[in-house]
């Protein structure tokens, strides 16, 4: 790395049988046209080489470190090697690769907390594959918070936000069954989530006075209690508490009418009560270019909004756009963060 160059971004492999390697290769191939910041790929060079042949992408794959990646990025794809230990077949996930997948994430976080990379960008993992290998977290979001906590000794509460050109949306509860949502929703959880959103929209997204639109849980936000009591008894008091703390939160809003074009102009983020309430509008409005960004972490983490897409891995059909958006967002936020520290 030349003396004045910023550290690279870290890009984890994700599930090696998924489209992570495809979109990483496509993104690297378009790096000049897109004006992308250098990234260091953390994963198995053999998987990448095989996928490049399948996709007919002409690329030199070069073993690298955070210190050498930025200089190499123009002429080759820099890789910090973490071998998978088996021959990976596109589209055929295998529990034996789980340790390498997890290892790539752990390595990226360690490097980031040591300042050797600027941000962590993760390719998609298949949760079920990792669960088979004993992975004890619902997804990256919770795992990254645990890693941060282990490194820093400070409690960390992560918040998932899907951010696209026309909508930012946060699910207050994430990967839990729908039937568990009403029990999980508490006034304290909503308030804490909104405080983290408010702080990060100001500090990381430069929104001076973020407006938080809080969704109801039940149809018509409970219709005065006739269609459920959580809206009046949990969500409304949470919104009041937030307003008392000076946060511009409003709601609970009927969720069916808060995502149309005019409604979205009235807020900076939609705070939703469960996974699909947030992710359906986010992906419907911007599947190709939305980014999954984790708020509340002591480092910057972004990810494409989509999953492993095993059915199209190795075919050339996968679009790299959401990964490109995730890399751009990680670059912007981490540069801003460096300037203010």
Ligand X SMILES: NCC(=O)COP(=O)(O)O
Residues placed in the known binding site for substrate = 140-141, 283, 292, 301
Shortest Å, Cβ 279 to ligand NAI = 9
The Cα–Cα gap between 13 and 27 comes to: 13
The Cα–Cα gap between 48 and 70 comes to: 19
Question: Are the C-beta atoms of 323 and 25 separated by less than 8 Å?
Answer: no
> Which of 319, 330, 331, 333 is the binder for ligand NAI (CB under 6 A)?
319
Q: Three-state SS for 306?
A: coil
Residue closer to ligand NAI by CB (options 108, 235) is 108
Would you put residue 246 in left (φ > 0), alpha (ψ -120 to 50) or beta?
A: left
Segment interacting with ligand NAI, rule: CB under 6 A, options 81-89, 212-220, 262-270, 315-323:
315-323
301 binds ligand NAI (CB under 6 A): no
Residue closer to ligand NAI by CB (options 117, 313) is 313
The Cα–Cα gap between 203 and 220 comes to: 33
Residue closer to ligand X by CB (options 55, 273) is 273
Rounded alpha-carbon distances, angstroms, from residue 130 to 43, 89, 96, 98: 16, 17, 9, 5
What residue 279 binds from ligand X, ligand NAI, none (CB within 5 to 8 A, per partner kind)? ligand X
94 binds ligand NAI (CB under 6 A): no
What residue 311 binds from ligand NAI, ligand X, none (CB within 5 to 8 A, per partner kind)? ligand NAI
The Cα–Cα gap between 131 and 79 comes to: 26
Residue closer to ligand NAI by CB (options 91, 219) is 91
Residue closer to ligand X by CB (options 134, 316) is 134
Shortest Å, Cβ 292 to ligand X = 5
What residue 215 binds from ligand X, ligand NAI, none (CB within 5 to 8 A, per partner kind)? none
- Order of strands, sheet of 269-272, starting from the edge strand that comes earlier in the sequence: 61-63, 77-81, 39-43, 9-12, 120-122, 301-304, 291-295, 159-163, 168-171, 269-272, 211-215, 248-253
Shortest Å, Cβ 276 to ligand X = 9
Could you tell me which residues are annotated as the binding site for a divalent metal cation?
A: 175, 220, 275
What residue 319 binds from ligand NAI, ligand X, none (CB within 5 to 8 A, per partner kind)? ligand NAI
- DSSP secondary structure code for residue 37 in this structure: P
What residue 306 binds from ligand X, ligand NAI, none (CB within 5 to 8 A, per partner kind)? ligand NAI
Which among 121, 50, 132 has a CA at the least distance from the CA of 91? 50
Shortest Å, Cβ 141 to ligand NAI = 8
The Cα–Cα gap between 270 and 188 comes to: 18
Question: Are the C-beta atoms of 141 and 260 separated by less than 8 Å?
Answer: no
Segment interacting with ligand NAI, rule: CB under 6 A, options 66-74, 123-131, 209-217, 245-253:
123-131
Is the N-terminal amide bond of 252 cis, ω within 30° of 0? yes
Sign of the dihedral through C-alpha 58, 6, 20, 82: positive
236 binds ligand NAI (CB under 6 A): no
Shortest Å, Cβ 142 to ligand X = 7
Shortest Å, Cβ 233 to ligand NAI = 32
List the end-to-end C-alpha distance of the chain, in Å, as a whole number. Answer: 21
What residue 128 binds from ligand X, ligand NAI, none (CB within 5 to 8 A, per partner kind)? ligand NAI
Q: How many CA atoms lie within 13 A of 54 on its CB side?
A: 23
The residue number whose beta carbon is nearest to ligand X equals 139
Shortest Å, Cβ 137 to ligand NAI = 11
Residues in contact with ligand NAI by CB under 6 A are 19, 124-128, 140, 292, 303, 306-309, 311-312, 318-319, 322
């Amino acid at each position: 790395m030349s003396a004045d160059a910023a550290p690279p971004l870290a890009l984890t492999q994700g599930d090696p049988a998924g489209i992570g390697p495809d979109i990483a290769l496509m993104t690297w191939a378009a790096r000049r046209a897109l004006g992308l910041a250098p990234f260091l790929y953390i994963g198995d060079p053999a998987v990448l080489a095989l996928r490049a042949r399948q996709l007919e992408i002409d690329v030199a794959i070069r073993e690298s470190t955070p210190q050498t990646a930025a200089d190499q990025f123009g002429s080759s794809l820099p890789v910090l090697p973490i071998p998978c230990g088996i021959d990976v077949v596109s589209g055929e996930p295998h529990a034996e690769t789980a340790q390498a997948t997890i290892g790539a994430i752990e390595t990226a976080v360690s490097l980031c907390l040591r300042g050797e990379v600027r941000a962590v960008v993760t390719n998609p993992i298949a949760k079920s594959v990792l669960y088979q290998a004993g992975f004890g977290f619902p997804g990256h979001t919770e795992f990254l918070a645990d890693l941060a906590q282990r490194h820093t000794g400070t409690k960390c509460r992560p918040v998932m936000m899907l951010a696209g050109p026309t909508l930012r949306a946060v699910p207050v509860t994430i990967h839990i069954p729908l039937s568990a949502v009403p029990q999980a929703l508490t006034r304290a959880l909503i308030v804490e989530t909104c405080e983290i959103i408010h702080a990060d929209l100001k500090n990381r997204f430069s929104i001076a006075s973020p407006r938080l639109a809080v969704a109801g849980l039940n149809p018509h936000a409970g219709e005065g209690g006739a269609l459920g009591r959580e809206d009046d008894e949990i969500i409304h008091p949470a919104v009041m508490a937030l307003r008392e703390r000076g946060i511009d939160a409003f709601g609970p809003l009927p969720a069916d009418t808060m995502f149309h074009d005019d409604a979205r102009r009235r807020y900076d983020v939609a705070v939703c009560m469960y996974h699909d309430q947030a992710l359906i509008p986010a992906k419907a409005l911007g599947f190709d270019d939305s980014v999954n960004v984790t708020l509340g972490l002591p480092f910057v983490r972004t990810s494409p909004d989509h999953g492993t897409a095993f059915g199209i891995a190795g075919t050339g059909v996968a679009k790299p756009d959401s990964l490109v958006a995730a890399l751009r967002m990680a670059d912007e936020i981490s540069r801003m963060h460096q300037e203010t520290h």
